[in-house]
Amino acid sequence: MMSEAYHRPVLLQESIEGLNIKPDGIYVDATYGGGGHSKEILKHLKTGKLLVFDQDEEALKNKVEDKKFMLIRSNFRYIKNFLKYHEALPVDGLLADLGISSHQIDRPERGFSTRFSGELDMRMDTASGKSALEVINTYPEEELQRIFREYADLKEARRVAKAIVAERTNGKIKTTGQLKEILQKLAPRNKESQFFSRVFQAIRIEVNDEIAALKELLLQCNDILAQGGRLAVISYHSLEDRLVKNFIKSGNLEGKIEKDFFGNPQVTFKAIGKPVTPSDEEIELNSRARSARLRIAEKL
């Protein structure tokens, strides 16, 4: 049974329209979460099927009982192997919402939220991988500085890294509350909320290896999507969006368009419309949609 409180789907109608769903098609929701997008996709399918991916065990509680539906508990970076195993290639559309669910944010023990003091965890898959505790307490200062600069665009990246390293000499930093207390003096006045959101975002991206996983997902789309198939990606960070933009433009992550012997551009996708951002009404209902950007493309 899906919980409406688990996750309010961002840019729902825009992303579903972008997929241009065929009733007999094969579709993938690479980031199932609370199932909001998937539930809407299923409404458009008759004889088609929907395969969804999520590495978070909590997502299993939202499994839909529908013969057209299959939930695969895995990181989407392994998508091609699973689709091949389930004889679901090629697919007619793939949707990926790169944000985290409200449910994950609202559980203090998961460590995603800046509003609570919880364990420094931040793992999407709580059964494996390094946690935020390991990142904060073992990464060298230079590495901490890198993730805050690259994944959060923090002007204060160097000072944030320095403050963390200095504090942990007094003992292990164990909670998100401790981390916020350490960094409070570095938060710009009247912009504390944005500052801590960026700090937590950078740590979460590092913990879950999100940028590398996204790169792997995008490159596999060259092989898994059928001709005329649609790709819809909702990103929340400039680095993510740049990768998606480059991939749609060129079929690679650098955005460099290759040419054949005769100088003709070799492209795999064409962009459908301009990037879509949430309306003021949606942002008012769901403030977490504020930084969302949807890009849609069609496989040539």
Is the per-residue pLDDT at 106 higher than 90? no
pLDDT of residue 6: 45
Tell whether omega for the bond before 265 is within 30 degrees of 0, i.e. cis. Answer: no
d(CA 155, CA 133): 23
Task: Tell whether the model's pLDDT for residue 102 goes beyond 70.
Answer: no
Residue 125: what pLDDT? 82
Alpha-carbon distance 62 to 153, whole Å? 34
Helix 176-183 and helix 157-168: axis angle, to 10°?
Answer: 120
Nearest CA among 159, 200, 110, 295 for reference residue 167: 159
The pLDDT value recorded for residue 30 is 97
The two beta strands, 269-271 and 293-299, are antiparallel
Quick one: pLDDT at residue 114?
A: 57
> Which DSSP state fits 24?
T
Mean pLDDT confidence for 24-51? 96
Write down the pLDDT at residue 101: 58
Mean pLDDT of 28-42: 95
Give the residue extent of every domain in the chain.
12-102+210-299, 126-207
Is the model more confident about 298 or about 111?
Answer: 298
Q: What is the pTM of this model?
A: 0.90
Asked whether the predicted pLDDT for residue 2 surpasses 50, the reply is no
**Percent of the chain surpassing pLDDT 70:** 92
The pLDDT tens digits of the residues spanning 126-179 come to: 777 799 999 999 999 999 999 999 999 999 999 999 999 999 999 999 999 999
pLDDT at residue number 260: 87
**pLDDT category of residue 112 using cuts at 50, 70 and 90:** low
Kindly report the length of the chain: 300
Mean pLDDT is lowest, of 80-84, 184-188, 190-194, 221-225, for 190-194
Task: Indicate the pLDDT class of residue 7, thresholds 50, 70 and 90.
Answer: low
What CATH number does the domain located at 12-102+210-299 have?
3.40.50.150
Give dist(CA 199, CA 50) in Å, integer. Answer: 35
The CATH T-level fold of domain 126-207 is DNA polymerase; domain 1 (1.10.150)
pLDDT tens track for 39-89: 999 999 999 999 999 997 776 777 889 999 999 999 999 999 999 999 999
- Assign 32 to helix, strand or coil: coil
Q: How far is it, in rounded angstroms, from Cα 193 to Cα 259?
A: 46
Residue with tokens 């977490």: 288
Name the residue among 199, 278, 192 with its Cα closest to residue 235: 278
